[in-house]
Amino acid sequence: MTAQRNLRSLAAFLTLCRGQPSTPNHIWQLALRQLYSIRLNHHAQTLRSETSQPATEQQALSAKDFRFAIVASGWHDSIVSRLIAGARDALEELLAAETAVEIFRVPGSFEIPLCALKAAESGKFDAVICLGVIIRGETPHFDYIAAETARGIGEASLKTGVPLLFGVITADNIDQAIDRAGEKLNNKGFEAARAAVELVNLYREVFTK
Protein backbone atom coordinates (compact mmCIF):
# COMPACT_ATOMS: atom_id res chain seq x y z
CA MET A 1 0.00 0.00 0.00
CA THR A 2 2.79 2.43 0.89
CA ALA A 3 4.57 1.67 -2.39
CA GLN A 4 1.34 2.32 -4.29
CA ARG A 5 0.82 5.65 -2.52
CA ASN A 6 4.45 6.66 -3.19
CA LEU A 7 4.09 5.71 -6.80
CA ARG A 8 0.90 7.77 -7.13
CA SER A 9 2.50 10.87 -5.63
CA LEU A 10 5.55 10.44 -7.85
CA ALA A 11 3.35 10.14 -10.93
CA ALA A 12 1.49 13.33 -9.92
CA PHE A 13 4.82 15.10 -9.44
CA LEU A 14 6.15 14.02 -12.85
CA THR A 15 2.92 15.12 -14.54
CA LEU A 16 3.39 18.53 -12.94
CA CYS A 17 7.00 18.71 -14.14
CA ARG A 18 5.94 17.85 -17.70
CA GLY A 19 3.82 21.00 -17.80
CA GLN A 20 6.85 23.20 -16.89
CA PRO A 21 9.02 24.69 -19.67
CA SER A 22 12.24 23.59 -17.97
CA THR A 23 12.54 21.44 -14.89
CA PRO A 24 15.84 21.89 -13.04
CA ASN A 25 18.20 18.92 -12.99
CA HIS A 26 18.13 18.43 -9.26
CA ILE A 27 14.34 17.98 -9.38
CA TRP A 28 14.74 15.16 -11.90
CA GLN A 29 17.41 13.65 -9.66
CA LEU A 30 15.03 13.81 -6.70
CA ALA A 31 12.35 12.08 -8.74
CA LEU A 32 14.74 9.36 -9.85
CA ARG A 33 15.91 8.79 -6.29
CA GLN A 34 12.29 8.46 -5.19
CA LEU A 35 11.64 5.94 -7.95
CA TYR A 36 14.71 3.95 -6.94
CA SER A 37 13.65 3.86 -3.30
CA ILE A 38 10.15 2.65 -4.29
CA ARG A 39 11.78 -0.19 -6.26
CA LEU A 40 14.00 -1.10 -3.30
CA ASN A 41 11.01 -1.09 -0.93
CA HIS A 42 9.03 -3.28 -3.24
CA HIS A 43 11.96 -5.68 -3.57
CA ALA A 44 12.37 -5.85 0.22
CA GLN A 45 8.65 -6.51 0.69
CA THR A 46 8.75 -9.34 -1.83
CA LEU A 47 11.82 -10.84 -0.17
CA ARG A 48 10.19 -10.59 3.26
CA SER A 49 7.07 -12.42 2.16
CA GLU A 50 9.11 -15.05 0.32
CA THR A 51 11.38 -15.77 3.29
CA SER A 52 8.70 -15.78 5.99
CA GLN A 53 7.88 -19.40 5.13
CA PRO A 54 10.25 -22.18 4.17
CA ALA A 55 10.29 -22.87 0.41
CA THR A 56 8.77 -26.29 1.00
CA GLU A 57 5.62 -24.66 2.40
CA GLN A 58 4.41 -24.37 -1.16
CA GLN A 59 5.43 -27.91 -2.15
CA ALA A 60 3.50 -31.08 -1.44
CA LEU A 61 5.43 -32.80 1.34
CA SER A 62 4.65 -36.26 2.63
CA ALA A 63 5.94 -38.26 5.58
CA LYS A 64 4.03 -41.34 4.45
CA ASP A 65 6.12 -44.55 4.43
CA PHE A 66 8.98 -42.96 6.38
CA ARG A 67 10.00 -43.81 9.96
CA PHE A 68 11.10 -41.27 12.54
CA ALA A 69 12.80 -41.39 15.94
CA ILE A 70 12.34 -38.55 18.37
CA VAL A 71 15.09 -38.26 20.99
CA ALA A 72 14.01 -35.86 23.72
CA SER A 73 15.65 -34.78 26.96
CA GLY A 74 14.05 -34.60 30.38
CA TRP A 75 15.33 -31.25 31.65
CA HIS A 76 12.66 -28.49 31.44
CA ASP A 77 10.17 -31.22 30.73
CA SER A 78 7.10 -28.99 30.41
CA ILE A 79 8.73 -27.16 27.49
CA VAL A 80 10.27 -30.28 25.95
CA SER A 81 6.80 -31.88 26.03
CA ARG A 82 5.54 -29.01 23.88
CA LEU A 83 8.35 -29.64 21.42
CA ILE A 84 7.42 -33.33 21.27
CA ALA A 85 3.77 -32.39 20.69
CA GLY A 86 4.86 -29.95 17.96
CA ALA A 87 6.95 -32.61 16.23
CA ARG A 88 4.10 -35.12 16.44
CA ASP A 89 1.67 -32.54 15.00
CA ALA A 90 3.94 -31.84 12.03
CA LEU A 91 4.44 -35.53 11.30
CA GLU A 92 0.75 -36.28 11.64
CA GLU A 93 -0.13 -33.33 9.38
CA LEU A 94 2.24 -34.75 6.79
CA LEU A 95 0.60 -38.17 7.03
CA ALA A 96 3.16 -40.14 9.02
CA ALA A 97 1.56 -43.19 10.62
CA GLU A 98 1.41 -43.08 14.43
CA THR A 99 3.33 -46.36 14.54
CA ALA A 100 6.07 -44.84 12.39
CA VAL A 101 7.19 -42.53 15.20
CA GLU A 102 9.16 -43.78 18.22
CA ILE A 103 10.10 -41.59 21.16
CA PHE A 104 13.23 -42.07 23.27
CA ARG A 105 13.70 -40.05 26.46
CA VAL A 106 17.16 -39.26 27.86
CA PRO A 107 17.98 -37.40 31.11
CA GLY A 108 19.48 -34.19 29.69
CA SER A 109 20.46 -32.65 26.37
CA PHE A 110 24.05 -33.77 26.88
CA GLU A 111 22.79 -37.35 26.51
CA ILE A 112 20.89 -36.70 23.24
CA PRO A 113 23.79 -37.31 20.79
CA LEU A 114 24.61 -40.88 21.86
CA CYS A 115 20.97 -41.97 21.89
CA ALA A 116 20.43 -40.29 18.52
CA LEU A 117 23.54 -42.03 17.16
CA LYS A 118 22.24 -45.41 18.32
CA ALA A 119 18.82 -44.73 16.80
CA ALA A 120 20.44 -43.71 13.52
CA GLU A 121 22.77 -46.72 13.50
CA SER A 122 19.87 -49.11 14.10
CA GLY A 123 18.78 -48.61 10.50
CA LYS A 124 15.17 -48.45 11.68
CA PHE A 125 14.65 -44.76 11.05
CA ASP A 126 14.82 -42.45 8.06
CA ALA A 127 15.46 -39.45 10.31
CA VAL A 128 16.07 -38.70 13.96
CA ILE A 129 14.53 -35.58 15.49
CA CYS A 130 16.47 -34.32 18.51
CA LEU A 131 14.57 -32.18 21.00
CA GLY A 132 15.74 -30.46 24.15
CA VAL A 133 15.83 -27.23 26.08
CA ILE A 134 19.03 -25.77 27.47
CA ILE A 135 18.70 -22.61 29.52
CA ARG A 136 21.61 -20.37 30.41
CA GLY A 137 22.43 -20.41 34.12
CA GLU A 138 24.96 -18.51 36.14
CA THR A 139 27.86 -20.85 35.40
CA PRO A 140 29.57 -21.79 32.10
CA HIS A 141 27.72 -25.14 32.23
CA PHE A 142 25.27 -23.92 29.56
CA ASP A 143 28.05 -23.34 27.05
CA TYR A 144 29.55 -26.79 27.53
CA ILE A 145 26.22 -28.60 27.28
CA ALA A 146 24.93 -26.55 24.33
CA ALA A 147 28.17 -26.89 22.38
CA GLU A 148 28.54 -30.61 23.02
CA THR A 149 24.90 -31.30 22.19
CA ALA A 150 25.13 -29.47 18.88
CA ARG A 151 28.51 -30.97 18.01
CA GLY A 152 27.45 -34.51 18.94
CA ILE A 153 24.23 -34.36 16.94
CA GLY A 154 26.03 -33.01 13.87
CA GLU A 155 28.76 -35.62 14.19
CA ALA A 156 26.29 -38.50 14.54
CA SER A 157 24.48 -37.33 11.43
CA LEU A 158 27.65 -37.17 9.37
CA LYS A 159 28.87 -40.52 10.72
CA THR A 160 25.67 -42.43 9.94
CA GLY A 161 24.43 -40.55 6.89
CA VAL A 162 21.02 -40.36 8.56
CA PRO A 163 19.46 -36.88 8.86
CA LEU A 164 19.53 -35.80 12.52
CA LEU A 165 17.54 -32.66 13.20
CA PHE A 166 18.54 -30.07 15.77
CA GLY A 167 15.36 -29.13 17.59
CA VAL A 168 17.19 -28.12 20.74
CA ILE A 169 16.32 -24.73 22.16
CA THR A 170 19.26 -22.83 23.60
CA ALA A 171 17.85 -19.85 25.46
CA ASP A 172 19.02 -17.15 27.82
CA ASN A 173 15.95 -17.54 30.01
CA ILE A 174 12.75 -19.50 30.44
CA ASP A 175 10.57 -16.94 28.60
CA GLN A 176 12.76 -17.15 25.52
CA ALA A 177 12.49 -20.93 25.65
CA ILE A 178 8.69 -20.84 26.01
CA ASP A 179 8.47 -18.47 23.01
CA ARG A 180 10.18 -21.11 20.89
CA ALA A 181 7.78 -23.84 21.95
CA GLY A 182 4.59 -22.23 20.68
CA GLU A 183 2.37 -23.21 17.82
CA LYS A 184 3.36 -24.66 14.46
CA LEU A 185 6.37 -22.84 12.97
CA ASN A 186 6.94 -21.05 16.28
CA ASN A 187 7.66 -24.44 17.78
CA LYS A 188 11.18 -25.84 17.32
CA GLY A 189 9.81 -29.38 17.48
CA PHE A 190 7.31 -28.73 14.71
CA GLU A 191 9.98 -26.97 12.68
CA ALA A 192 12.54 -29.78 13.13
CA ALA A 193 9.99 -32.45 12.20
CA ARG A 194 9.00 -30.61 9.02
CA ALA A 195 12.67 -30.25 8.14
CA ALA A 196 13.09 -33.99 8.72
CA VAL A 197 10.30 -34.77 6.27
CA GLU A 198 11.76 -32.34 3.78
CA LEU A 199 15.16 -34.04 4.00
CA VAL A 200 13.96 -37.63 3.74
CA ASN A 201 11.97 -36.70 0.65
CA LEU A 202 14.94 -34.90 -0.84
CA TYR A 203 17.35 -37.77 -0.22
CA ARG A 204 14.95 -40.40 -1.51
CA GLU A 205 14.23 -38.36 -4.61
CA VAL A 206 17.75 -37.27 -5.42
CA PHE A 207 20.08 -39.96 -4.11
CA THR A 208 18.14 -43.18 -4.63
CA LYS A 209 19.11 -45.13 -7.73
Catalytic residues: 141
Residues between 15 and 74 that touch ligand DLZ (CB under 6 A): 73
DSSP state of 76: T
Spatial CB neighbours of 62, under 8 Å, sequence gap ≥ 6: 94, 95, 197, 201
| E-only strand ranges, the chain | 68-73, 101-106, 127-135, 164-171
127-135 sheet: strands from edge to edge: 101-106, 68-73, 127-135, 164-171
Q: Which residues of 108-128 are buried (b: 16+ CB within 10 A; e: fewer)?
A: ebbbbbebbbebbeeeebbbb
Q: By CB under 6 A, is residue 152 in contact with ligand DLZ? A: no
Q: By CB under 6 A, is residue 132 in contact with ligand DLZ? A: yes
**Is 71 buried (19+), middle (13-18) or exposed (0-12) by CB count in 10 A?**
buried
Among residues 94 and 106, whose Cβ is nearest to ligand DLZ?
A: 106
State the chain's maximal CA–CA distance in angstroms.
Answer: 82
Q: By CB under 6 A, is residue 135 in contact with ligand DLZ? A: yes
Q: By CB under 6 A, is residue 110 in contact with ligand DLZ? A: yes
Per-residue binder mask for ligand DLZ (CB under 6 A), 190-209, x = binder: --------------------
Among residues 66 and 110, whose Cβ is nearest to ligand DLZ?
A: 110
In the list 87, 127, 128, 134, the residue contacting ligand DLZ (rule: CB under 6 A) is 134
Separation CA 14–CA 195 (nearest Å)? 49
Among residues 65 and 172, whose Cβ is nearest to ligand DLZ?
A: 172
Q: By CB under 6 A, is residue 145 in contact with ligand DLZ? A: yes
Q: By CB under 6 A, is residue 137 in contact with ligand DLZ? A: yes
Q: Smallest distance, Å, CB 176 to ligand DLZ?
A: 12
Q: Smallest distance, Å, CB 130 to ligand DLZ?
A: 11
Binding site for ligand DLZ (CB under 6 A): 73, 75-76, 107-111, 132-135, 137, 141, 145
